[in-house]
Amino acid sequence: MAEQKKATSNVKTADEMNHMRELPKEQLSEHFQDHIAFLIMGKCEGKDIFMALGMYHVGGKVWGIADGIVQQTNLIITPSDHRTISNNEFVGNRIGPTDESANFQVVEESDKVIWKTGNRQITCRMPYWELKGEHMGVDLDLTIGGIGDSIPYHGPWTDLAAKGLAGNEHLCWASGSFTYQGKKYTLDEGWAVRERTCLGKGWDVLTLLGHSTGYIWGWCFSESVKVFCFAEPEVNRYVGRVWSGDQVLGYGPGQITVEPLERWKDPMTDVTIPIKWKIKMESDAANVEMNVATWSRALYGFHLAKGYTTHYCVLGRTNGSVVFPDGRNVPINDCQTYFETAKATVLPKG
């Protein structure tokens, strides 16, 4: 792996290994989802780039298969000056047992872990991840490097057997290239989030999403500031984080408000989705205000035995500020932005 840029991480090699075997057998027969996935944002020759890439080791009655692997690839390529929502082209796929991939392996070596399936491979050699190979016509040659430490979003791996849930997210930079429809795209600027999670019984994606208001999940990236926001109003679950300099600030319920400002009816699905938001995150540490506008979309979804989910991915920019108690103001100026909305539909197979 070409280590061209400094990276840091507290993730150990063992953390990237296959964790589903740590779940009790009764959980494995009902539901498991052990995955490694990446959100990647970047710029290339006057275009904004979004990718979502993942390998999901799944099984149990909820999935409808005993043990299998499914992949995800999303891609949006849009001119950076395109600022009007439209019925854009994108790459996306459903994630379900009828779309099982082939030749799945997790190879565990002393200094690295390699996830392989189909034509794609993810090499985890801390603090770097290397993504190579093709799926859905998108051929990768990317390097991801950790920034700071991971966030134990779903709890430590030591709790997995007892709680049926563990995993973390890691803010990263991204570099390298990918090829699509015969054209090679090399990232001029790139950011990423690596997600490594294992979900057992009772933590399937339909249950996590709820069945009415759904959720929003989003990031904005720039050199000076990075912001994450998650909101699931139905269950009063709110999580926010801000990276500014060496500081990582956290926000929770009662500190985050999300107001949709504009909606758009997608002609592809005849579904109306939010595309602009005003988001505030307030605490004693700092107040964040963001105006989020998006104008390109992609779709993916999980298809399980008891129902399915639909996820709308929207790409755009954010403006706003982070204001600290001492009066220091860190501007959020035209930051590259990804937001995702999703809802679950309980509709079991016959």
pLDDT at position 169 is 97
pLDDT at position 211 is 64
Residue from 66, 88, 70, 69 nearest 78 by CA:
88
Weakly modelled stretches of the chain, pLDDT under 70: 1-3, 211-212
pLDDT at position 213 is 73
CA–CA separation, 118 and 20 (whole Å): 20
pLDDT at position 349 is 83
pLDDT at position 100 is 86
pLDDT per residue as tens digits for the range 293-308: 999 999 999 999 989 9
Kindly provide the b/e burial profile for residues 254-277, where b requires at least 16 CB atoms within 10 angstroms of the residue's own CB: ebbebeeeeebeeeeeeeebbbbb
Q: Give the three-state DSSP class for 224.
A: coil
Percent of the chain with pLDDT over 90: 89
The answer to whether the CB of 84 falls within 8 A of the CB of 297 is no
CATH number of 204-350: 2.40.370.10
pLDDT at position 11 is 97
CA–CA separation, 15 and 151 (whole Å): 13
pLDDT at position 221 is 95
Question: What average pLDDT does the chain have?
Answer: 95
DSSP 8-state class, residue 205: H
Q: Outline which parts of the chain fall under CATH 2.40.370.10.
A: 204-350
The amino acid at residue 318 is T
Q: What is the pTM of this model?
A: 0.96
pLDDT at position 1 is 45
CATH number of 13-203: 2.40.370
The answer to whether the CB of 271 falls within 8 A of the CB of 282 is no
Tell me how far apart the terminal alpha carbons of the chain are, to the nearest angstrom.
47
pLDDT per residue as tens digits for the range 190-244: 999 999 999 999 999 988 887 667 899 999 999 899 999 999 988 899 999 999 9
**CA torsion, points 158, 153, 121, 146, in degrees to nearest 10?**
-100
